[in-house]
Structure 1
Amino acid sequence: MTQHRLRDGFGYGVVATIAMSVLMLMALISGLSPMPQPVPKAVVEQLFSAGLPKPAMMALAIGLHLGYGGLIGAVLARIARPVTLLKGLALGVGLWAMMQVTFLPFLGWGLFGMAITPKIAVATLVLHLVYGGVLGWALDHDTSSTGRTSPTTTD
């Protein structure tokens, strides 16, 4: 059961990451995003400077973002029993807060993105609520789509 829980959590974590990423990209393309670039891309650029060609940099950013989202989904599925929409949203808020005080200052954007604009804090909160909401909802409703025992209940 634990293996199924981890696999499902990882898979739904990737799906939730894709959902938040699509929204982020739509906002960037439309000009509505207050962020100068996607955070995963900015982090990879900060870590590797100009050491990687742009296609490799984008592939690494996408891979790391999806992998991180999947890993966090697996962790939630493993430790929270049962996983609910509310727990997913709480996870999203926790991840958002961690991002505000670690990744954004690392990028030079300041705490909560304040070095650029406070709108970054709001935009990234919405994105993380989408991630947590999709993840929590998917794991909570997994039994209805598969007809098997929920991967997020007890062993």
Structure 2
Amino acid sequence: MSEETFKELGRSWGQGISIGICVAVLTAVVSILANRSGMAPFPQPPALAFAETLAGRELPMPVGLLFHTVYVTGWSALFLRCSPWQGAGAIVVLSLLLWGGVLLVFFPVVGWGFFGLGVGPQMIPGSFVPHFLFGLFLWGLDRVWPR
């Protein structure tokens, strides 16, 4: 696709990255509050678990937050910049695909089993909530962010 086609499709990279960072911060705040209150079903923050799996050792929480920020910002910016499908329906599909990826790829990689069932069945709805919030925040910020 040409640069002109991309301009017609979505936002600039700068806008996508800016919105993505905001989505990452909002979802991180909710996740941190859920972890501290004991509402989150995860044995540890998922992004930190992934970073520790890659590093093969324990890491401090800021590394997990960095992984979370890069992951959320990357998907947000890529979607807002490159997706030929925009709007609420497309964001729902993206959120569901990312949730499926967590259940089928991410959880097994970090040792939590398919669907997180190595930890327990609460991992399925527990991992849906942050992906729902991701979609909600991405949709809302995309609607209100100036073009």
Q: TM-score, normalised by structure 2?
A: 0.84
Give the gaps of 5 or more residues in structure 1: 151-155
Q: Which 4+ residue blocks in structure 1 deviate beyond 4 angstroms? A: 1-4
Distance 1:82 1:97, change over 3 A: closer
Query: Which string of whole-angstrom CA distances, capped at 9 and with x for unpartnered residues, describes residues 87-142 of structure 1?
Result: 22221111110111111001111111111111111111110110111112211332
Match of 1:102 in 2: 105
User: SS where residue 120 of structure 2 aligns?
Assistant: coil
Task: Note the C-alpha offset of 1:22.
Answer: 1.6
Match of 1:153 in 2: none
Match of 1:119 in 2: 122
Match of 2:47 in 1: 40
Give the distance between the partners of 1:77 and 1:119, measured in 2 at CA: 31
Give the distance between the partners of 1:83 and 1:23, measured in 2 at CA: 25
Give the distance between the partners of 1:95 and 1:106, measured in 2 at CA: 15
- The number of aligned residues is 140
User: SS where residue 12 of structure 2 aligns?
Assistant: helix
Give the distance between the partners of 2:127 and 2:62, measured in 1 at CA: 22
Give the distance between the partners of 1:19 and 1:62, measured in 2 at CA: 12
- State, as a whole percentage, how many aligned pairs show the same letter: 24
Does the alignment pair 1:25 with 2:32? Answer: yes
Give the gaps of 5 or more residues in structure 2: 1-5
Give the distance between the partners of 2:28 and 2:66, measured in 1 at CA: 12
Q: Structure 2 residue aligned with 1:10, among 13, 17, 26?
A: 17
**Which amino acid is 1:133 matched to?**
L
Query: Which string of whole-angstrom CA distances, capped at 9 and with x for unpartnered residues, describes residues 29-50 of structure 1?
Result: 1111111110000111111122
Q: TM-score, normalised by structure 1?
A: 0.80
Give the distance between the partners of 2:70 and 2:41, measured in 1 at CA: 25
